[in-house]
Amino acid sequence: MSENNLNREQIEAAAAHLEKAELEAYEVTKLTNDYPEMTYKDAFDIQWEIRRRKEARGTKIVGLKMGLTSWAKMAQMGVEHPCYGFLCDYFTVPDGGEIKTDELIHPKIEAEIAFVTKKALKGPGITIADVLAATDFVLPAVEVIDSRYKDFKFDLKSVIADNSSSSRFITGGQMQRVENVDLKHFGVVMEVNGEIVATGAGAAVLGHPAASVAMLANMFGERDEEIPAGTFVMVGAVTAAFQCKKGDSFSVRYQGLGSISGRFV
């Protein structure tokens, strides 16, 4: 992995700046405008510093996510490599629940699938097979992303520093053992206000959703971190994300895995 160009003070200042924008729901310019020299290592260090700040205040980390793992998402955002982020206790919204639009900037919803691990995974060298063997069960998830950047526009380093736009998520539907789901072929239908806005299949995520968890374990390995047993991991949106506004309701149906719904209030 690349080295740092930013010093510790700059990393802490950038983390405080982005976290404030998240907590108070306002837009900022993308971080590479402020720090053109920042490296990927700096970007990840800023994300991990945001995580450290939250944990120090008692926030619990309840899972991890991959982002930009489908061509639909990479094309939509103009970014050509996946990224990861962490999920906090206060990000959770119950299935069928309400998302408070005023707490967010310009939210979009994403249809995802999540893995729950039963064994630790640590790269390098983690494969789809390792992930399947380490998976307790899979279940549907909907992510609400909310980039802190103006007009939802960014580059890869900026989005990594901003915890990969993580904001809210819903999980529910039917859990399944991996051997009972055709992970590549299962279909997903996303509806907003009763109209279908996107459809997709599991294979849209890096060819196989488990490849996303493997990539996460390998990226974590570069920092000497592991994905602990019992971790909830969202693999990234199967389709392009869909922008929602106050009053919108949505429902995502997952072939053989039930559905998830919610409402922006």
- Binding residues (CB under 6 A) for ligand OOG: these are 65, 67-69, 73, 77, 110, 143, 145, 147, 159, 164-165, 236-237
The binder of 162, among Mg ion, ligand OOG, none, by C-beta within 5 to 8 A per type, is: none
> Minimal distance in Å, beta carbon 127 to ligand OOG?
22
The binder of 68, among Mg ion, ligand OOG, none, by C-beta within 5 to 8 A per type, is: ligand OOG
> Minimal distance in Å, beta carbon 54 to Mg ion?
19
> Minimal distance in Å, beta carbon 7 to ligand OOG?
27
The binder of 19, among ligand OOG, Mg ion, none, by C-beta within 5 to 8 A per type, is: none
Q: Rounded to the nearest 10 degrees, what angle do helices 40-56 and 8-24 cross at?
A: 60
Q: Which residues pair with 150 in a beta bridge?
A: none
> Minimal distance in Å, beta carbon 235 to Mg ion?
8
**6 versus 87: smaller Cβ distance to Mg ion:** 87
> Minimal distance in Å, beta carbon 158 to ligand OOG?
10
Cα separation, 38 vs 252, in Å, equals: 38
> Minimal distance in Å, beta carbon 64 to ligand OOG?
11
**65 versus 253: smaller Cβ distance to ligand OOG:** 65
The binder of 140, among Mg ion, ligand OOG, none, by C-beta within 5 to 8 A per type, is: none
The binder of 173, among ligand OOG, Mg ion, none, by C-beta within 5 to 8 A per type, is: none
**101 versus 165: smaller Cβ distance to ligand OOG:** 165
The binder of 164, among Mg ion, ligand OOG, none, by C-beta within 5 to 8 A per type, is: ligand OOG
Cα separation, 246 vs 265, in Å, equals: 5
**209 versus 236: smaller Cβ distance to ligand OOG:** 236
**56 versus 213: smaller Cβ distance to ligand OOG:** 213
Which tokens hold the place of 205?
């995520």
Q: Which residues bind Mg ion (CB under 5 A)?
A: 67, 110, 143, 237
> Minimal distance in Å, beta carbon 117 to Mg ion?
18
Which tokens hold the place of 6?
């930013």
Closest residue to ligand OOG using C-beta atoms? 67
Q: Which residues contact 62 (CB under 8 A, 6 or more apart)?
A: 87, 88, 89, 91, 92, 232
